[in-house]
């Protein structure tokens, strides 16, 4: 039975990744921003359903001290950490000329620097174990370029580069590092202002539909599994055959 840390488990893809790994027999430290009775009720139901433990851990990704405190509380349990899923992030759209530098820094703080800090903290445990798997939630927005996505796209592009770099650094310790790059997915972050925008995005995919969060979660679960034991430094694109 493996133990996993997953960030952003309160909603969206993270909530579904949490259930998918629990269904496959993983214990989970379920990270979220703030205490939430509904969230704790849901993870109790999942814990009972799948016969695993799921423990809530709360911290803000924009707060370095909170991240360190949260991870320290996990490490204090002196249990192996087999999987880290850096899922949480923030979306932001805006043309370059209309994007304040402060907003750019905020997006990078959450989508890049916090992910690096999580990897730094957890990698120390995995290196001592000589095993482990890190999965970063990137985006096709970090691979293709479109106007209006300077902050979000460049933060995800940086995360993809970091994934490949860190995979080379941690590989000799038996630690694998990969990324998942979802395309247009049916979550609250995949919101469009009107049906016309929605239809234009759907028409860009060969399969002519959005991904479900479950389809993204299955990609994460594969990379976290022993079936992917020789996969590292890889970006798994799950986009339905998207064209720019």
Strands of 47-193, DSSP E: 54-58, 83-86, 132-137, 175-182
The secondary structure element, H or E, covering residue 32 is strand 27-32
Question: Measured on CA atoms in the order 30, 33, 35, 36, is the torsion positive or negative?
Answer: negative
Output Rg (C-alpha) for the chain, integer angstroms: 17
Question: Measured on CA atoms in the order 14, 19, 23, 26, is the torsion positive or negative?
Answer: positive
Is 3 within 8 Å of 75 (Cβ atoms)?
Answer: no
Task: Please identify every residue annotated as catalytic.
Answer: 152
CA nearest to 214, candidates 185, 176, 191, 243: 185
Q: Is 52 helix (H, G, I), strand (E, B) or coil?
A: coil
Distances in whole angstroms, Cα of residue 66 to Cα of each of 33, 34, 137, 155: 10, 11, 21, 21
Residues in Cβ contact with 104 at an 8 Å cutoff, skipping those fewer than 6 apart: 150, 151
């Amino acid at each position: 039975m493996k133990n996993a840390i997953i960030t952003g488990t309160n909603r969206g893809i993270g909530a579904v990744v949490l259930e998918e790994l629990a269904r496959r027999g993983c214990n989970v430290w379920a990270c979220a921003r703030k205490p939430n009775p509904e969230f704790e009720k849901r993870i109790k139901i999942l814990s009972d359903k799948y016969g695993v433990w799921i423990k809530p851990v709360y911290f803000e990704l924009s707060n370095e001290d909170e991240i360190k405190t949260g991870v320290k509380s996990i490490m204090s349990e002196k249990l192996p950490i087999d999987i880290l899923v850096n899922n949480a992030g923030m979306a932001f759209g805006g043309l370059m000329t209309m994007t304040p530098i402060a907003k750019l820094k905020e997006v990078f703080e959450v989508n890049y620097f916090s992910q690096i800090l999580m990897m730094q903290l957890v990698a120390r445990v995995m290196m001592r174990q000589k095993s482990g798997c890190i999965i970063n939630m990137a985006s096709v927005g970090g691979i293709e370029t479109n106007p209006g996505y300077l902050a979000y796209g460049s933060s995800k592009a940086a995360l993809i580069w970091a994934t490949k770099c860190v995979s080379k650094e941690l590989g000799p310790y038996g630690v694998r590092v990969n990324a998942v790059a979802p395309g247009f997915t049916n979550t609250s972050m995949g919101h469009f202002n009107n049906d016309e925008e929605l239809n234009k995005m759907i028409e860009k995919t060969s399969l002519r539909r959005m991904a479900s969060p479950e389809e993204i979660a299955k990609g994460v679960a594969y990379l976290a599994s022993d079936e992917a034991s020789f996969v590292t430094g890889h970006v798994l694109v799950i986009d339905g055959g998207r064209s720019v």
